[in-house]
């Protein structure tokens, strides 16, 4: 399994349109794709159509080839890999081989049967990312505090001899009197 990169994930505050009296699955698919940041900013790919098709194929337990995905997204096959990178990094789709007849059916499938299950996968991926980031931040804070403590200790050691000299001078003055 390839290492997941969450650095390009951007969550957006997109809500379903209030102007419509009845929302369609296409409307909600568009909102979900935008909220999760699955679509690249400069892309004209139809990610909401891909979500609907992937759900349909998942219920039939049939993987979708990269050619079919590129047709759904309306982009070239080489660009399709870049388009689905965010889907893969969130754990929403995966490459599978399913036995069928005399061979294997290869392609991509959703990792959950419903969108709620997909959100569970995405949530688990992001929580894992933030847990690891929190551990890194804790190590950073520990090292930063240690460095500050050492710097403070180094300053206090250089100040102490200077503090002892006036008392020694005072003792010398007392002896002379």
For residue 158, what pLDDT is reported? 67
* CA–CA distance, 61 with 110 (Å, rounded to integer): 10
Confidence of residue 161 (pLDDT cuts 50, 70, 90): low
pLDDT digits (tens, 9 = 90+) for 126-149: 888 889 999 999 999 999 999 888
Domains of the chain by range and CATH? 25-129 (1.10.10)
For residue 37, what pLDDT is reported? 83
Distance of CA 33 to the CA centre of its chain: 15
* CA–CA distance, 46 with 40 (Å, rounded to integer): 11
pLDDT digits (tens, 9 = 90+) for 47-93: 999 999 999 999 998 999 999 999 999 999 988 998 898 888 888 89
pTM for the model stands at 0.69
* CA–CA distance, 122 with 171 (Å, rounded to integer): 73
Could you tell me which residue, 154 or 57, shows the higher pLDDT? 57
Give the phi and the psi of residue 21 in degrees, each rounded to 5: -80, -35
């Amino acid at each position: 399994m390839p290492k997941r990169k969450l650095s390009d994930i951007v969550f957006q505050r997109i809500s379903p349109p209030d102007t419509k009296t009845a929302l369609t699955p296409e409307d909600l698919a568009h909102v979900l794709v935008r909220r999760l940041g699955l679509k690249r900013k400069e892309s004209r790919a139809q990610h909401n159509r891909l979500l609907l098709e992937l759900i349909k194929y998942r219920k039939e337990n049939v993987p979708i080839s990269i050619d079919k995905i590129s047709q759904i997204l309306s982009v070239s096959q080489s660009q399709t890999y870049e388009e689905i990178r965010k889907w893969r990094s969130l754990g929403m789709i995966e490459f599978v081989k399913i036995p069928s007849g005399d061979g294997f059916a290869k392609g991509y499938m959703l990792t959950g049967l419903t969108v709620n299950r997909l959100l569970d996968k995405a949530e688990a991926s992001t929580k894992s990312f933030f847990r690891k980031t929190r551990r890194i931040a804790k190590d950073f804070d520990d090292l930063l505090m240690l460095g500050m403590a050492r710097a403070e200790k180094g300053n206090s050691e250089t100040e102490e001899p200077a503090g002892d000299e006036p008392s020694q001078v005072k003792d010398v003055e007392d002896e002379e009197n």
